[in-house]
């Protein structure tokens, strides 16, 4: 069962100003010049407060997860131009990559290859769809990574259980150990149902909260929410990626993985 996150998470705080009336009565004897200065000071304060409110609204219009985690990453998106995040060790796992996928030297990008390569029967690699897993699996905690999809017309990103089937045709369903977001033919988005997106993402953010049973997908260009799965996770989960499942030779642009720790 999929639960959509609320489109907006707004928190309004009212700050009381008790004691202001008494203060005004005590200042009745202040001359006009002092009153003018006081009014100017109040206007300055009020103006600063409005700017702060605008900043709060700016954050609140980002569609955040129902749990606390995504707020951290939304904030990071606003800060990343002035800080240097520390790279985390999540890459593509070459031991699981389909034989027709080419991984970069740093194992952070992947694209289809043209020629056929032999595959041992006992290999851990996927043998039908052009799949690859992430190098690190998760059994607890909160995790976030981004997948740069660019203009690729067909892709799948999500998570898969460690024990999931890797041979033959695979039905990418939660009951089979797959929680995914997909794009087909350049304009058909789907999770566990078809989705309509007003803006085409060039980067997909994936947020996993293992204990809370939440997997959320975001348009990482603006951190707007796309879809969320809620489930009970009982196995180790690995980041999961598929390129061009319908036409293996169509996509030439690499899919890139970014995993940053704050």
Q: Which tens digit of pLDDT belongs to each residue from 91-128? A: 999 988 888 888 888 898 888 875 443 333 334 455 55
What sign results for the dihedral spanned by CA atoms 175, 177, 178, 179?
positive
Say what the pLDDT of residue 149 is.
94
Distance CA 42, CA 82 (A): 32
Distance CA 240, CA 206 (A): 11
Phi, psi for 21 (deg, rounded to 5): -65, -45
240 in a domain, yes or no? yes
236 in a domain, yes or no? yes
254 in a domain, yes or no? yes
Say what the pLDDT of residue 261 is.
64
114 in a domain, yes or no? yes
- Kindly report the CATH number assigned to the domain that includes residue 252: 2.60.120.920
Distance CA 207, CA 199 (A): 20
Domain holding 248, by residue range, is 69-261
41 in a domain, yes or no? no
Mark the ranges of the chain whose per-residue pLDDT is less than 50: 1-68, 83, 86, 115-124, 245-248, 262
63 in a domain, yes or no? no
Distance CA 193, CA 180 (A): 11
The full DSSP string for 53-117 is HHHHHHHHTS---SSSHHHHHHHHHHHTTTS-PEEPS--B-TTTS-TTEEE-TTSSEEEE-SS--
Say what the pLDDT of residue 260 is.
65
Distance CA 238, CA 257 (A): 13
Helix axes 69-79, 32-60, angle to 10 degrees: 110
Count of CA atoms in the C-beta half-sphere (13 A) of 209: 18
Q: Give pTM, 2 decimals.
A: 0.65
Query: How many domains does the chain fold into?
Result: 1
Say what the pLDDT of residue 30 is.
44
Distance CA 52, CA 24 (A): 26
The full DSSP string for 195-245 is E--SS--SEEEEEEETTTTEEEEEETTTTEEEEEEE----S-EEEEEEE-S
Say what the pLDDT of residue 254 is.
87
Say what the pLDDT of residue 21 is.
44
109 in a domain, yes or no? yes
Say what the pLDDT of residue 76 is.
60
Say what the pLDDT of residue 203 is.
94
Residue 111, beta-bridge partner list: 102
Say what the pLDDT of residue 156 is.
93
Q: Any idea what DSSP says for residue 166?
A: -
188 in a domain, yes or no? yes
Say what the pLDDT of residue 25 is.
44
Instruction: Kindly state the greatest CA–CA separation across the chain.
Output: 93
């Amino acid at each position: 069962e999929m639960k959509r996150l609320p489109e907006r998470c707004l928190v309004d705080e009212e700050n009381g100003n008790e004691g202001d009336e008494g203060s005004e009565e005590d200042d009745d004897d202040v001359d006009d010049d002092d009153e003018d200065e006081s009014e100017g000071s109040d206007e300055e304060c009020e103006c600063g407060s409005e700017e702060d409110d605008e900043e709060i609204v700016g954050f609140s219009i980002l569609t955040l997860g129902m749990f606390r985690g995504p707020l951290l990453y939304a904030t990071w998106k606003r800060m990343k131009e002035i800080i240097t995040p520390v790279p985390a060790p999540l890459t593509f796992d070459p031991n699981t990559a389909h034989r027709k996928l080419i991984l970069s030297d740093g194992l952070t990008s992947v694209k289809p290859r043209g020629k056929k390569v032999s595959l041992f029967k006992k290999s851990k690699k996927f043998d039908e769809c052009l799949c690859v897993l992430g190098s690190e699996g998760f059994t607890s905690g909160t995790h976030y990574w981004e997948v740069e999809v660019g203009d690729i017309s067909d892709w799948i990103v999500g998570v898969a259980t460690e024990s999931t089937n890797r041979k033959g045709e695979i039905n990418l369903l939660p009951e089979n150990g797959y929680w995914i977001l997909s794009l087909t033919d350049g304009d058909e988005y789907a999770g566990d149902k078809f989705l309509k997106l007003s803006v085409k993402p060039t980067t997909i953010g994936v947020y996993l909260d293992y204990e809370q049973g939440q997997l959320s997908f975001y348009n990482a260009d603006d951190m707007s929410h796309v879809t969320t799965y809620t489930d009970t996770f009982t196995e180790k989960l690995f980041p999961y990626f598929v390129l061009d499942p319908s036409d293996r030779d169509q996509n030439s642009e690499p899919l890139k993985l970014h995993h940053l720790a704050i």
